[in-house]
Amino acid sequence: MADPEIKSYEPHHESQSAAVTESRPVRITLTTVTLVFLGIFLLLPLIIVFKEAFAKG
């Protein structure tokens, strides 16, 4: 049986990853919109529910 050939992996030295297609401002904007959406529709109702629950004792 022949020994398997071992190759070292050398990544391509590109300035930007192939997985990233949007520019930095677009990524920052999308991330900000996502966090604001989560804050409004998930965290804010949760805070209101706990505030009402603790207000009534």
Q: Measure the CA–CA gap between 10 and 8, rounded to whole angstroms.
A: 6
- Smallest CA-to-CA distance from 24 within 32, 13, 12, 36 is with 32
pLDDT of residue 1: 65
- 44 in a domain, yes or no? yes
- 35 in a domain, yes or no? yes
pLDDT of residue 13: 62
Segments in the chain below pLDDT 50: none
- 14 in a domain, yes or no? no
Do 15 and 7 meet the contact criterion of CB atoms below 8 Å apart? no
Q: Which domain holds residue 53?
A: 23-57
pTM of the entire predicted model: 0.55
The two structure tokens encoding residue 37: 């959406």
Q: Measure the CA–CA gap between 44 and 57, rounded to whole angstroms.
A: 20
The two structure tokens encoding residue 38: 């989560």
What is the number of domains present in the chain? 1
- 4 in a domain, yes or no? no
